[in-house]
A and B are shown apart, each in its own frame.
Chain A
Amino acid sequence: MKELQFDSAVIGGGAAGMAAALELSARGLSCAVIEREDELGGILMQCIHNGFGLIEFNEELSGPEFAQRLEEKVRSAAITPFCGATVIEVEDNGEHKVISCVSGAWGVIRIKARAVVLAMGCRERNRGNIRIPGSRPAGVFTAGLAQRLVNIEGYIPGKDVVIIGSGDIGLIMARRMSWIGCKVHAVVEILPYPSGLTRNIVQCLKDFGIPLYLSHLTTNIYGQDRVEGVEVTPIENGALMFDRSFRIPCDTVLLSVGLVPENELSRSLGIDLSPMTNGPWVDSTLMTSVPGVFACGNVLHVHDLVDFVVEEARRAGSFAADWLAGRRKDKELRVKAGSNVRYVTPGRLDPARDNKLYLRTLIVKNDAVLEVRLNNKTVRSQKKSHVQPSEMISFNLGPSELAAARESPDSVLEVSIL
């Protein structure tokens, strides 16, 4: 069994992992990146559509192009990637974290590092998670699995498709399936508004005349061997209107019903998780409850855009480097989700410097206001022309706005959308 030692190790070689590793390496630290697939890039590799990189590269790129740009930098930096290696265990031995991973090429390797950045990404919620009743025929796929099958493997999962959930992957797959010659009969969304980006509603559904059923629940899946159809039921005032249920014949169901950060390794390390984000609780330096272990990207909370993931990951890498250099956090203030806010992350801020926050709202509203109150005093009131749960909101808070927190030890910052 090989044992290797690095200053730092990053678990996951997708956009977040590569960005975090680049930052660690730029600070002169040795860094291992452990990736279970045979190449770096993560889920970007199957996202062959465009729309990535507008913020990061000021250009509109496809997923593989975005990944390749990061990968080229990784290959020319002092970073050691381990591809085709799956982490099976992480132990915290105080001074070191020990990561055990398994690969066909090297067997079991133990990688020792003083700091670890978690960048494992997320997984798709599936049929069981949302409890769709009915039979269990072939032909039910998560949208991401179908995307992999079509875009990387070149297989056709089915011909007549119904997509459940209007998340972005589902919308993108509606267009992809149409483009490979399949018929997409409907997208069914339980909420009264779409979960994906508006532009995807336009270019993935409207362009193809695909009906979007809002406030509708898929109440049954039919078919003995292969899917034969779904039953769809309208929802009114929270009640299912079974007298108006209808059936859509199809041979394939794609599920795009949300993503869950993949925190099984985090859990085995004893890291505290937030029930709102399903990701680790992190402080102002993106450090989890286990000292020396940081988190970024979709394992921390599910992002809309890879550009935001990369931005966050770069900070995680930088904070990890600071920590390795011996910098310990000063006083922090606590962040709380206020009215109409599902979550704000990170959960702690450093009042002495600039902090970046991400939040998701619970409401759809035009002309909304982002209100930030520190110890019950408004420190920011910012107009937002349009807010909705599917679009993450980011903002910065600096030392001037947080000045009051430096004096009082138990400061609380509350963020609301009004």
Chain B
Amino acid sequence: MKQGSDTFDVVIIGAGVSGANIARRLCSYELDVALVEKEADVSFGISKANSGIVHGGFHHGSKYLKARLEVLGASMFDRLKAELDFPFERCGIVVVALHEDEMRSVEQLYTQGVENGVIGIEMCSRERMLELEPKLSSDTVGGLYAPGGGIVEPYRFVFSLVENAQKNGLSLLTDYKVVQARRAGELWTVTAADGRAVQARYVVNAAGLFADEVSRIFGAEEYLVHARKGEYYLLDRQTKAKPDRVVFPVPTSVSKGMLIVPTVEGTVLIGPTATKVDDKEDCATTREELDTILKSARNMIPSISEGDVITSFAGIRSVIEEDFMIEASAKVPAFIHVAGIQSPGLTASPAIGEYVKDLLKKAGLRLVEKADFDPFVRKVPRAKDLSPFELDALIQKDPAYGELVCRCERVTEAEIVEAIRRGHTTLDGIKYFTRAQMGRCQGGFCTYKILKIIMRETGMKAGEITKRGGASTVLRGEL
């Protein structure tokens, strides 16, 4: 990894799903690229807590950039999955109308989808809806079906993108909070809070919620990124209320509404709410909002039970105006804004990578394809996906595959060790990479084992391990 004040062709600020896609795309060219992230690990901001949906391309009209990038991005996921080994499935999306007058909006979604070029989208009768999703409320009057929509684990997607980019030369700098930027000659010097500095010919501002602050630091356009909080419930994989497809209500003018997502890993996610918040780091859940989620979800699938809830959490979306803001700065040179990436940002992100690459090219960056670009990541065998025979064979080679650490999500010691070796050394980083602590006991049984594995693998002391970097230490010392 490059250190100190190295010079790069491009520095990307923010290792969320946008930054990661841009980084990976740029690393397929003969370029020196750095990705800097203020958190301890990648995907620790907006990208860690969202619905994990690859949208169906019907929610927004084609006048929006976000709609065009959504449709293009969605079409890129199959290839990305083949290359990058992250959980993704085209399970399909349904939109449920519970009153006759909602059918008008459904029709509008359908028209929008067709105009956007979405394949396979269909209007559904009540019978068709209940045939697709028998668990839907008997109040269902009809709806929309988009078979191409899907579900994805957003953090695993980001982890794989960054890992692959690193394999192709990316320099990743974490705990790197940008506080200062200076331009001298053809170069930006980008300095972090701890004094580290990098130099770059081009800068991409993919700082999510903090894109406005970063823009100000660079003396570029003034704008405000608003934070919109979305709260979620996660339900046990053994819930009887699990649908086969993503279930949307009919959207309102401000939001796509609260959905029911059969996650790609088998649990069920319900939410999000949409509340404007002042504090961009306010990921607190509230009693009222959580009650709203349960009520709304039960309107669509009445069998959803409070007893199935294993955890709740909140994520923040970054909103500027209605659309994404992806453009070169008109005020300062060699500076690209990638801001206001709200929903459907995850879906659009691969297309954002393409789009930003083109913007950089337009701004004068020379792109020469890397002859030895390797698009693949090394797959991690995961015990829960293996047959007993396959698992047995693996244990003969590495006994750590026989040590089950997380029983709820069936994660072995070998997978934890792999996560640590790939740089995920916080409890949350390991959780997102392996799913350990993500199941019904929420780490009650496995946390102590994970702490001990981190200490053994990294040499860290008990009091140094954090939940997600910074001051989030887990233990206060030893007896």
Q: Nearest residue in B to A88 (C-beta to C-beta)?
A: B410
One of B138-146, B367-375, B397-405 at the interface: B397-405
A226 interface contact, C-beta 8 A: yes
Instruction: From the candidates B313, B404, B413, name the one contacting A36 in the complex (CB within 8 A).
Output: B404
A133-B287 in contact given A1-B388, A156-B476, A158-B476 (Cβ < 8 Å): yes
* A156–B407 touching, CB < 8 Å: no
Tell me the bound Cα distance from A266 to B276 in angstroms: 44
Tell me the bound Cα distance from A148 to B445 in angstroms: 9
* B389–A155 touching, CB < 8 Å: no
One of A71-79, A136-144, A324-332 at the interface: A136-144
Tell me the bound Cα distance from A156 to B451 in angstroms: 13
* A133–B284 touching, CB < 8 Å: yes
* B441–A220 touching, CB < 8 Å: no
Q: In terms of DSSP, what is the predominant structure of the interface of chain A?
A: mixed
Write the nearest CB–CB distance from B38 to chain A, whole angstroms.
Answer: 13
Tell me the bound Cα distance from A104 to B414 in angstroms: 10
Instruction: From the candidates A102, A126, A148, A155, name the one contacting B462 in the complex (CB within 8 A).
Output: A155
B213 interface contact, C-beta 8 A: no
Number of cross-chain contacts by CB at 8 Å: 150
Write the nearest CB–CB distance from B445 to chain A, whole angstroms.
Answer: 7
Contacts of B403 in A (CB 8 A): 84, 103-104
Write the nearest CB–CB distance from A224 to chain B, whole angstroms.
Answer: 6
Contacts of B477 in A (CB 8 A): 155-156
Contacts of B281 in A (CB 8 A): 224
Q: In terms of DSSP, what is the predominant structure of the interface of chain B?
A: mixed
* A129–B310 touching, CB < 8 Å: yes
**Counting chain A CB atoms within 10 Å of each CB, which of B286, B451, B474, B478 scores highest?**
B474
0/1 per residue, A84-101, Cβ < 8 Å to B?
101011000000000010
* A135–B283 touching, CB < 8 Å: yes
A153-B396 in contact given A127-B311, A138-B467, A138-B472 (Cβ < 8 Å): no
One of A27-35, A105-113, A197-205 at the interface: A105-113
Tell me the bound Cα distance from A154 to B468 in angstroms: 23
Tell me the bound Cα distance from A390 to B119 in angstroms: 59
B234 interface contact, C-beta 8 A: yes
A53-79 CB contacts (< 8 Å) to partner B: none
B312 interface contact, C-beta 8 A: yes
Tell me the bound Cα distance from A154 to B463 in angstroms: 12
* B392–A134 touching, CB < 8 Å: no
**Counting chain B CB atoms within 10 Å of each CB, which of A104, A127, A154 scores highest?**
A104
In the complex, which range does the number of interface residues on chain B fall in?
Answer: 35 or more
Tell me the bound Cα distance from A157 to B473 in angstroms: 10
Write the nearest CB–CB distance from B444 to chain A, whole angstroms.
Answer: 5
Contacts of A104 in B (CB 8 A): 395, 399-403, 413
* B396–A142 touching, CB < 8 Å: no
* A267–B395 touching, CB < 8 Å: no
* A154–B478 touching, CB < 8 Å: yes
* A107–B313 touching, CB < 8 Å: no
A128 interface contact, C-beta 8 A: yes
Q: Nearest residue in B to A137 (C-beta to C-beta)?
A: B472
B232-286 CB contacts (< 8 Å) to partner A: 234, 238, 281-286
A403 interface contact, C-beta 8 A: no
Contacts of B306 in A (CB 8 A): 131
Contacts of A406 in B (CB 8 A): none
Tell me the bound Cα distance from A369 to B92 in angstroms: 58
A149 interface contact, C-beta 8 A: yes
Q: Nearest residue in A to B285 (C-beta to C-beta)?
A: A133
A124 interface contact, C-beta 8 A: yes
A134-B311 in contact given A104-B395, A154-B479 (Cβ < 8 Å): no
Contacts of A142 in B (CB 8 A): 444
* A133–B286 touching, CB < 8 Å: yes
A159 interface contact, C-beta 8 A: yes
A124-B441 in contact given A102-B391, A104-B400, A133-B290 (Cβ < 8 Å): yes
Contacts of B470 in A (CB 8 A): 225
A264 interface contact, C-beta 8 A: yes
A127-B283 in contact given A104-B402, A155-B478, A267-B238 (Cβ < 8 Å): no
* A107–B407 touching, CB < 8 Å: no
Write the nearest CB–CB distance from B40 to chain A, whole angstroms.
Answer: 11
Instruction: From the candidates A89, A102, A107, A225, name the one contacting B404 in the complex (CB within 8 A).
Output: A102
Tell me the bound Cα distance from A136 to B442 in angstroms: 12
A189 interface contact, C-beta 8 A: no
A150 interface contact, C-beta 8 A: yes
Tell me the bound Cα distance from A110 to B392 in angstroms: 11
A100-B388 in contact given A86-B407, A131-B287 (Cβ < 8 Å): yes
0/1 per residue, B121-161, Cβ < 8 Å to A?
00000000000000000000000000000000000000000
Given A102-B391, A126-B442, list of 9 further CB < 8 A pairs? A102-B383, A103-B402, A104-B395, A108-B402, A123-B440, A148-B448, A149-B475, A155-B451, A226-B472
The 7 closest A-B CB pairs, nearest first, are A128-B311, A104-B402, A138-B467, A104-B399, A108-B392, A225-B472, A225-B471
Residues of B within 8 A of A (CB): 234, 238, 281-287, 290, 306, 309-313, 383, 388-389, 391-392, 395-396, 399-404, 407-408, 410, 413, 427, 440-445, 447-448, 451-452, 462, 466-468, 470-479
